[in-house]
Amino acid sequence: MAGGASGLGAATARALHGAGAVVTIADVNEEKGRALVSELGERVTFAQCDVGDESQVKAAVVQAAQAAGGLRVSVCCAGIGWAERTSSKRGAHRLVPFETVLRINLIGTFNVLRLAATAMNENEPLEDGERGVCINTASIAAFDGQIGQIAYSASKGGITAMTLPAARDLAGRGIRVVTIAPGTFDTPLLGALPQEARDQLAAQIPFPSRLGSPAEFASLALHVVTNPMLNGEVIRLDGALRMPPR
């Protein structure tokens, strides 16, 4: 569970654990990660993990693979945002933030995907031939990027675009790949906004006209795990929201 210490990741870790899974919470935030381990108790461990660091992801994957049953489910929710226009009165978009967002969101997701899938290759197939499922997190910004979201949208668009080829690459080994593209969700990032701003965001959503709950993301992730025909698909989870330009 990469990025599993807070927000969508923590909700998914709780849901998987509640369904009986042995969970490895991999996150850069050790304090929050270990607090969640203490909350959940048995069948859960923490691994310090920057998704952009190959050695740390390898160590987290090995830790998960050594649990009873091996690594069968990989969920990657790790990511950051950045707001800056391609060009403005202040000049061109800075290159370093753009590279950083892509390194963490896109390359980090690919790093988790490739290493988790390689570990799943070693699993004994289940009755239907499945060895595992990899769930990645994009965003509706991949489709409806707003002003100032070029870095974020590019990173999430990359995750969206690699879903089908990854699923095709791994089909012969019985490993599924699915991406969830959430809309506006009530995560710690939005929790820092004033209530008026949160209400304005919620009002944009056709139905239900509220922010999404991390538990709803987790519920979809669990459904993906249990539905073997979901493969190579990007699922929007957004209450029919189509983001305006700003």
Q: What are phi and psi of 25, to 5 degrees?
A: -90, 115
Per-position DSSP letters for 147-167, written without gaps between them:
TTBHHHHHHHHHHHHHHHHHH
Q: What are phi and psi of 3, to 5 degrees?
A: 70, 35
If we measure between CA atoms, which residue out of 11, 47, 37 comes closest to residue 221? 11
**Cα–Cα distance measured from residue 49 to residue 26, given in angstroms and rounded to the nearest whole number:** 5
Active site residue 188: no
3-class DSSP assignment, residue 193: coil
Catalytic residue among 46, 82, 98, 152: 152
Q: How many helical (H) and strand (E) elements, i.e. helices and strands, does the chain have? A: 10, 8
Residue whose pair of structure tokens reads 């990027």 in the numeric block: 145
The Cα-based distances of 226 to 14, 98, 159, 173, 230 in angstroms read 16, 36, 22, 18, 9
Q: Could you list the active site residues?
A: 152
